[in-house]
Structure 1
Amino acid sequence: MLTTRSLLVAAAAADVIHVDATYKLNWQGYPVLIAGVTDAASQFFPCIFAVMTSEKEGDYTSLLRVMKDEVEKATQQTFAPRVVMGDCAEAVTRAAEAVFPDAARRVCWFHVKKAIDGRLRGEDKEWRGMVLGDLEKVQLSATPEQFDHSFDLMCERWLSSSWPSACDFVTYIRTQYRTKNSGWFEGFDLRSPSTNNAIESFNGQIKARHTIRERAPVGRFLRTALDMVSEWAAEHGERRVFQSDPPVHLSVQTAAWQWITKGQRCFTSGARTYVPAGDRESVSRDEALHYDEVMSGSTPVTFGELMQVRFSTWLMEDRGGEGTERSIRDLTCTCPPYLKKSMCKHVVAAAITAGWIMVSERAKDVPLGQKRKRGRPALARPALLH
């Protein structure tokens, strides 16, 4: 196992751990296990690079235990992450329970979707598309209660259809992704990514930049690993800075400013604000009450009716306490952009209206109804341009 003091100190500032294994780096075919953390901007920061003889529970337990002990030794503080992210491997789950018993075990949505898609191979194309589409809607559940309710209605829909394999598939998905691995929906934890893409992309960079996609012998592999870990330590704090708050990008500011200018009418009740989705102009009090009844399960509905209500109104909540310093982090929203990136135009617009943040002048230079183009905006405009 290889690490540096600066990598360990950087890991102590995070509360979301990512674990993954990669192959095809050495002649012996041994797996390389990597553990690291992500910040509020979903940037991945590696912590430990380890070569193991296998990818079993004991290997992951050793990796996480060494990470915990060395971080605490370097910082003289208790290291207790909130979330451990990985694929659906039972070895990762047991290792996380042994080393971090209080941490929530989150599983990667991409791996779940890939496994289910493989299970559906050979099925009718229409049924396959319906199942994957329903799962993507359920994955956007904003709370555990909403996930349980929508998951049950989804299974009832499949069982009542004419799909011949519905019974076996429902038994499979309930066992694998409801009982064993249920942490694949967005609302499982709103402050952590729902996929392991950050570390997966990092593994690809190792093969592309360092090993040049070749299996190295022992001597050269060790030198490459030492250089690689030293480079990670040098990059931290210089080119890559750990962010404790989700960034408010210029494109989100532009969308928020245009949303304020458009003037859609919301309904507010206490700390809850009901926001019209899509092209809807307003949300009435009766629509807000109907939304609460349907989403809480007090009104019997079908899966299609539940999804229609779910994606017609977004619920924004203010979770800040009385007398505390207010921040944009106190606001949450049930729209897909917020669930995916912990930031959306509705939250930013509410923060701008409350005076918590100031909107940039560059965010206002895009005509109403147009989206900001990708990339950095031009620093200088052509002369004599009105």
Structure 2
Amino acid sequence: MIYFDNSATTKPYKEVLDSFVTVSSDFFGNPSSLHSMGGQAEKLLSQAREQVAKLLKVKPTEIYFTSGGTESNNIAIKGAALLNRNKGRHLITTSVEHASVMSAMEQLEQEGFDITYLPVDENGRVRVEDVEKAIRKDTIFISVMQVNNEVGTVQPIKEIGEMVKKYPKILFHTDTVQGIGKVPLSLQKSNVDLCSLSAHKFHGLKGTGALFIREGARLAPLFSGGNQERKMRSGTENVAGAVAMAKALRMTMVKSETGIARMKKIQSMLRTALNEIEGIKIHTPIENSAPHIVNFSLSGMKSEVVIHALEQEGVFVSTTSACSSKKKFPSKTLLAMGVPESLAESAIRISLSFENIEEEAKTAIVKIKKTANQFRKVMD
């Protein structure tokens, strides 16, 4: 089996699973309980928070554990909008964000907020000058993802952050779910106020994530209850999940330098080989692109048909994002980039992890070429 769908989810590290089982078995107390078992759980939770903060080079008090990227995005966007609506009701984002960002924005529109969806260029990148031009007196929030989950485009987060410094009323949020461990980002130097992470994208467990909230930034909590996570996210904490997430992030960061270099080499191999196959159009840009994603179209072929054909060959890839892959609509990201609908409907995404090797890429190329030729014969 060749697993090339790591942008959808990654295989958890064995050490991560072991840490989750150990904490769940031996330290299962509620961290809010007063007895010693609760104290042990609370200590582990604090240690996990400190580890994540250290790896991200921020303060432990700026890390809030969540259930993943979707929840982190919703807390950031809705929490900022609801708390600051008296200052303004205008938010800015791009036309290529993850569904959890787009849906949150659409919900806020129904509540009377005004949303600007910025266009992107042919490479899927937003222009900093377009972001600044969209700013109004009533703008309170900007959300731009770090790495596009479909084509791998890296957005100019640092440059946008520098620009936003001139507008102290505006909170700047980035969804770094696809970028963490693969595309370096300094939250401090980039002037990011809010940042979303999801553990299962870096070999952690599903249902665990985090939200960075810069000290001084204020949000309205979306959950009411026992005031856990310093009143930002009520609900009994997933201690084992937080510990496992900290372990996964640490292991990912340790492997990052050599892992990124290997992924870049494999990505280059894939691009070169795919370009030689008749009817293939690569959408992932060469510049400002993450090292783990290659998005391409097989002209005239429906992507879901190709996905299942490759699966029969033992190669697992995907269409758009995992959240949208079953809806059978052409990729909004590709359409926003100006890709014709016929090509957008035939898009395939290969996404790598540090665990993939060159031999897998060579085998996958042979299988893709075989599949393309078979379908072409049927079409002819």
The two structures have a TM-score, normalised by structure 2, of: 0.28
| Structure number, greater radius of gyration | 1
The structure that is helix-richer by fraction is 1
